[in-house]
Amino acid sequence: MCVTAHPDDESAAFGGALMWARDQGADTSVVCLTDGQAATFRGDSNGNEELAAVRRKEFLAACEVLGVTHPEVLHFQDGKLAETSFSEIVESLVECIRRLRPQVLITFGTEGGPNLHRDHTMASLAATAAFHWAGSEASFSTQLTNGLTSYAPQKLYLLQPPFVAPYRAANPELTPTTTCSLNMNLSAYMDRKLKAFLMHATQMAVLERVRGAFDKFAGCECYLLAASKSADRIDGALFDGVSVDHAVSGE
C-alpha cells in the first residue's frame, strides 16, 4: 500500500516501486488522501468540483499504467490536511489497512518530499500512525464491529526525496531530509513512470517545471525502513523478511 496526498504523487514519487512490486506478483494499492482540487495548475477545468473530477480520472488512468490493483481517493480537503483532524485522517487509513491488509506500506518522508509540501508531511505522519494503530483492537474499535479485524502490516518505508527545492525557501540545501536504507534501481521502469505521470494532463506545467530533475532522478527511488516486525534490520529489498499473510492468501 502506498499512501499519498494528491493525484500525481503515485506516479512522480512512487511509480517505480509500485511497478516493481507488481512485477514481483504482489497486489498493489494506492490510497490518495485528497482529490487535488486546490492545485495551482488546473488545465481547462472551471471550478474546484470540475478539477476534482478530472483529477480523479487522471489518477485512475495513471494507476492503470502503473498496474495498481486497488486505486482509491479519499475525501479530505486538498491543501488543508494540516488543519484537518489528525485522528480522522488516521482512522480512515486504519480502515484501509484493515480492509486491504497490506504487508508493506510506503509513504512520503516526514519532510514532505522535494517541495516540503505540508500535505505530504501530513500523509507521512498519518500513514505512520495508521501503520502502528491498525493492529491494535483498542484503536478505532467500532471498525471491528463491522466485519473488519485488527491487522498489522510488516514493514513501513518512508521515501527519501532525491533533491529538495521548496517554494520560496531561503536555504533549501540546509533542509533536514529523510535518510535512506534501501536504494532501488528502477531505471527499467523510467518510460512507464513518465507515461503514468503524463496521464495527469492538468499538471503538465508541473512536469515541465521539474522535467530536468525527473529525468535525472526518476530511475532511482530511495526509502528508509522506518518500522519492521523483523528483528533483522539489514534491508536488502522491499519484501525482504516479509512473510505470507495466510488470512489474505487463503492458504
**Among residues 112, 124, 102, 155, which one has the least CA distance to residue 33?**
124
**Cα-to-chain-centroid distance, residue 75:** 16
How remote is the C-alpha of 68 from its chain's centroid?
12
At CB < 8 A and 24+ separation, what contacts does 136-141 make?
139/94, 140/91, 140/94, 140/95
Count of residues in the chain: 251
Asked whether residue 247 carries a pLDDT value surpassing 60, the answer given is no
Give residue for cell 506478483: 25
| pLDDT for 165 | 76
pLDDT value, residue 124: 98
Phi/psi of residue 66, nearest 5 degrees: -80, -10
pLDDT tens column, 26-64: 999 999 999 988 766 555 666 778 899 999 999 999 999
Nearest to 133 by CA among 94, 177, 191, 79: 94
Please give the domain boundaries of the chain with CATH numbers for all domains.
2-249 (3.40.50.10320)
Rg of the chain over CA atoms, in angstroms? 17
The per-residue pLDDT for range 177-190, each reduced to its tens digit, is 999 999 999 999 99
Least confident of 17-31, 127-141, 200-214, 234-248: 234-248
Q: How crowded is residue 187: how many other Cβ atoms within 10 Å of its Cβ?
A: 12
Please list, in sequence order, all residues whose beta carbon lies within 8 angstroms of the beta carbon of residue 146, skipping any fewer than 6 positions away.
none
Contact call for residues 200 and 208 (beta carbons, < 8 A): no
The amino acid present at 61, given as its one-letter code, is: A
The separation between the first and the last C-alpha atoms of the chain, rounded to the nearest angstrom, is: 21
> What's the one-letter identity of residue 127?
A
Mean pLDDT (the chain, rounded): 91
Residue corresponding to grid cell 532522478: 217
All three cell numbers of 143, joined, read: 471498525
Confidence of residue 251 (pLDDT cuts 50, 70, 90): very low
pLDDT (mean) for 109-135: 96
**φ, ψ for residue 186 (rounded to 5)?**
-120, 30
Q: Distance between CA 174 and CA 134 in Å, rounded?
A: 35
Q: Over 90: is that where the pLDDT of 166 sits? A: no
- Average pLDDT score over residue span 192-207: 92
Percentage of the chain lying above the pLDDT 70 cut: 90
Which comes out higher in pLDDT, residue 130 or 40? Answer: 130
